[in-house]
Structure 1
Amino acid sequence: MAEHKHGSMDITTQEKTFNGFITFTIRTVIVILAIVVFLAVFNS
């Protein structure tokens, strides 16, 4: 068995992926909210 040392793994790629996911999610929510507001204001 290999010995695991806590905190020794390079997580740069995982952090970039997570940050990209969070950014995508936030932008998607903003766009959806803008569409909902647009439909609420301009719906006859």
Structure 2
Amino acid sequence: MATHDDVPMNPEYMDYAEHERTYSGFITVTKWGVVAVAGLLVVLMFFIL
């Protein structure tokens, strides 16, 4: 079983710059993924219709 320590996390150990960089990367990949899927759907629409 995992132990549950009630030790509060010290903010100085949190790497906020890395969190923001990871979030920004996630948003960028998600945005371009949506654009790619939308483009694929448009291309498929022209080939099917």
Q: The TM-score by the shorter chain falls in which range?
A: 0.7 to 0.9
Which residue does the alignment assign to 2:30?
Answer: 25
**Aligned-residue identity in percent:** 32
Structure 1 residue runs of 4 or more that deviate by more than 4 Å after TM superposition: none
Q: CA deviation at 1:43?
A: 1.1
Under a length normalisation based on structure 2, what TM-score does the superposition of the two structures give? 0.67
Under a length normalisation based on structure 1, what TM-score does the superposition of the two structures give? 0.74
Any unmatched runs of 5+ in structure 2?
A: 1-6
How many positions carry a matched residue from both structures? 41
The CA RMSD measured in Å over matched residues stands at 2.1
Distance 1:10 1:31 in 2: 32
Distance 1:10 1:35 in 2: 38
